[in-house]
Structure 1
Amino acid sequence: MNNYLYLGLAILSEVIATSFLAKSNGFTNLAPTATALVGYTISFFLLSLTLRTVPTGVAYAIWSGVGIVLVSAVAYFWQGQKLDAPALIGMAMIVGGVLVINLFSKTAGH
């Protein structure tokens, strides 16, 4: 399986986990808590598989950067979180950084 597919699935698992963590109410709601814990476990497992061939810094930059943007989008649409212009600009910069790593860095290993 492609290591970037592992990374994509790790990101998706982390986004699901973080979104349910927000609904766990400090680990007092069982279903969202369980979903968050399972999601994080899957995410870290898949990230560990990614790190077999993708450099740690590159994988983590992509994982965290894309995760931030996706979690923010889920929070906007699912939880009613509002995003102001500086937040959107910052997220655009994060996406730009991920693109620079993937398109121009020889460290990305692809």
Structure 2
Amino acid sequence: MLTLTVSQAWAVLSVAILLEVAGTTSMRLSEGFTRLLPSVLIFVFYAASFGLNTLVVRVLGLSVVYGVWSGVGTVLTALIGVYCFKEPATAVKLVSIGLIVLGVMGLHSASRVSA
């Protein structure tokens, strides 16, 4: 059984987040499952991301892993939407992204206290 240190778990979680963002971006690129490669990549990236999360959750805990994974993934995906797909960067969107970042920072801090 693979055992990760706390720092390794954070590194693996970072890769899982990037894979999740790649999967979500592939959703946009698949154009409603009409383009084969991005459609297939959705499932490949998400499967790899969930697989890595399964390893990390044993070390960092479910609430921290899922909260950080979904929060950072949401922020990165929103930024990709704005910069790559020219979605509007409204004030509400930017404030909401900031609130997500604060929440992720809080979860990370909570993991340090309990670790």
- The TM-score with structure 2 as length reference comes to 0.87
Percent of aligned pairs with the same amino acid: 32
Deviation at 1:107, TM superposition (A): 6.8
Amino acid at match of 1:97: G
1:52 partner SS = helix
One-letter code aligned to 1:67: G
Q: Give me the whole-angstrom Cα distance separating, in 2, the residues matched to 1:61 and 1:90.
A: 15
The one-letter amino acid of 1:51's match is V
Tell me if the contact between 1:58 and 1:107 (Cα under 8 Å) persists in the aligned partners. Answer: no
RMSD: 1.5
| Residue matched to 2:82 | 76
Superposition pairs of residues 1-110 of structure 1, within 5 angstroms: 2-103=8-109, 105-106=110-111, 109-110=114-115
Unaligned runs of 5+ in 1: none
Higher helix share goes to which structure? 2
Q: 1:106 and 1:47 mapped to 2: Cα distance?
A: 16
How many residue pairs align between the two structures?
109
| Structure 2, gaps ≥5 residues long | none
Question: TM-score scaled by structure 1?
Answer: 0.91
In structure 2, how many angstroms separate the alpha carbons of the residues matched to 1:50 and 1:76?
30
SS in 1 for 2:15: helix
